[in-house]
């Protein structure tokens, strides 16, 4: 009887998954082709942020030689009407290469290229926040601003249900999962391990990973990165995660509150410091920066998720280790504050602080730019100042 039962279950599984998934294709057969020599050419995968400000797109071209610097890479274009990015008849958008990484999927000498998007008139597309961020970073270059970002995310099945959760219910309540080990506590570690190694190969400044409080929720950290490099490396780490998940037939969500109720949301806590803050007595500069931040809370909330605070409103409730979205607070070692000063920083009187407000789906260019504008350029008021090109 047993084989029949197994067959029946397989049949049911195969036929309730409506479509075939590329994750079901044989990776062993694919490997045979990936080992073919490529005759001195290089495959360059151009990657960009689409019109949602959250989604990533990519396409590949062949280069005759290995690019050594960004100048060796040609501009390219794409059809913006298919990426929520163009207005009317002017649908050609430009791809401007900005950062090169090694390709962990096709391997050396192939490349992943992070690009900015320009419109037909060569002005930045609405969701190209990198250009302004780079300009702001240039202004404070001599203060050597460092960032570290903790990217939380949730692994979902292709049906949108958290990976490994019972299909008609919930796992046991939160408690055993954070930094957990064991098949009943760590849901989807293969993805985390594959992503970590792929990032290291690519040259992404990834500095750690851990399992998070909600089962199937994980975190990776990128940093410390100086200036514009923070956004570049976080976006590339996200791309690599999407791509790894594709291979495994699962989906990554950066939604700040994927499951409502008594389950932790997902943020993107951002550590920030300047050279002065890191030097002896830097706590004074840290406190001054926090004082400035306290006067500009709403501006930051608007910059910290792609919907101007609406996404974060589901997460920043004042519960589940978050602050309330309507109130600014700061404290040493306080996880329920908007800004946390790590205990060691309080003791050594120098270092950095952590802004716990950014949402998991934030644009790191917007977050790092906002911190510089308020803390270093001394902007006040709810609107960012205009800076000329």
Asked if 354 is part of the footprint of ligand NAG (rule: CB under 6 A), the reply reads: yes
Residue 162, strand partner residues = 156
Q: How many residues bind ligand NAG (CB under 6 A)?
A: 10
Q: Provide CB contacts within 8 A for 228, sequence distance 6+.
A: 130, 133, 134, 137, 365, 368
Which residue in the shown chain puts its C-beta closest to ligand NAG?
148
Helix, strand or coil, per DSSP, at residue 340: strand
> Rounded to the nearest whole angstrom, what is the least distance from the CB of residue 160 to ligand NAG in the complex?
29
- Find the binding residues for ligand NAG in span 171-230 (CB under 6 A): 207, 221, 223-224
Beta carbon nearer to ligand NAG, 215 or 224: 224
> Rounded to the nearest whole angstrom, what is the least distance from the CB of residue 264 to ligand NAG in the complex?
17
CA distance 130 to 127: 9
Beta carbon nearer to ligand NAG, 86 or 217: 217
> Rounded to the nearest whole angstrom, what is the least distance from the CB of residue 345 to ligand NAG in the complex?
8
CA distance 326 to 313: 9
> Rounded to the nearest whole angstrom, what is the least distance from the CB of residue 151 to ligand NAG in the complex?
9
Q: Provide CB contacts within 8 A for 185, sequence distance 6+.
A: 176, 177, 211, 215
Burial of 187-201, coded b for 16+ CB within 10 Å and e otherwise, reads bbbebbebbbebbeb
Beta carbon nearer to ligand NAG, 207 or 259: 207
- Find the binding residues for ligand NAG in span 301-320 (CB under 6 A): none
CA distance 307 to 228: 22
User: x/- binding map, residues 120-159, to ligand NAG, per CB under 6 A?
Assistant: ----------------------------xxx---------
- DSSP labels for 165-217? S-TTS--SPSSS-TT--STTT-S-HHHHHHHHHHHHHHT--EEEEEE-SSTTE
- Find the binding residues for ligand NAG in span 255-284 (CB under 6 A): 271
Beta carbon nearer to ligand NAG, 211 or 250: 211
> Rounded to the nearest whole angstrom, what is the least distance from the CB of residue 40 to ligand NAG in the complex?
39
Contacts with ligand NAG by CB under 6 A lie at: 148-150, 207, 221, 223-224, 271, 342, 354
């Amino acid at each position: 009887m047993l084989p029949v039962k197994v067959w029946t279950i397989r049949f049911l599984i195969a036929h309730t998954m409506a479509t075939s998934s590329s994750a079901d294709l044989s990776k062993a057969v694919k490997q045979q082709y990936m080992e073919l020599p490529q005759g001195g050419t290089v495959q360059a995968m151009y990657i960009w942020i689409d019109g949602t400000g959250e989604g990533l797109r990519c396409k590949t071209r062949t280069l005759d030689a290995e690019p050594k610097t960004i100048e060796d890479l040609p501009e390219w274009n794409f059809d913006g009407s298919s990426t929520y990015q163009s207005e009317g008849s002017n649908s050609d958008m430009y791809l401007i290469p900005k950062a090169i990484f090694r390709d962990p999927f096709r391997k050396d000498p192939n490349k992943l290229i992070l690009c900015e998007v320009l419109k037909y008139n060569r002005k930045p597309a609405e969701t190209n926040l990198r250009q302004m961020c780079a300009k702001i970073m240039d202004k404070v270059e001599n203060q050597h601003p460092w960032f570290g970002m903790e990217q939380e995310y949730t692994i979902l099945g292709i049906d949108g249900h958290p990976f490994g959760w019972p299909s008609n219910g919930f796992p046991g309540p939160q408690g055993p999962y954070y930094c957990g080990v064991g098949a009943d506590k760590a849901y989807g570690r293969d993805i985390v391990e594959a992503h970590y190694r792929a990032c290291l190969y690519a040259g992404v400044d990834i500095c750690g990973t851990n399992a998070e409080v909600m089962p199937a929720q994980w975190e990776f950290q990128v940093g410390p990165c100086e200036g514009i490099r923070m956004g570049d490396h976080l976006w590339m780490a996200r791309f690599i995660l999407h791509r790894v998940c594709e291979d495994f037939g699962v989906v990554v969500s950066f939604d700040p509150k994927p499951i409502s109720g008594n389950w932790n949301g997902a943020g993107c806590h951002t550590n920030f410091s300047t050279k002065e803050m890191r030097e002896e007595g830097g706590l004074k500069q840290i406190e001054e920066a926090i004082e400035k931040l306290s006067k500009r809370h709403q501006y930051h909330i608007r910059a910290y998720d792609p919907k101007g605070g609406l996404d974060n409103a589901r997460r920043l409730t004042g519960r589940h280790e978050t602050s309330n979205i309507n109130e600014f607070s700061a404290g040493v070692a306080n996880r329920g504050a908007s800004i946390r000063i790590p205990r060691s920083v309080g003791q050594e009187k120098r270092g950095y602080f952590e802004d716990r407000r950014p949402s998991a789906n934030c644009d790191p260019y917007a977050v790092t730019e906002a911190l510089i504008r308020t803390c270093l350029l001394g902007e006040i008021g709810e609107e960012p100042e205009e800076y000329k090109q």
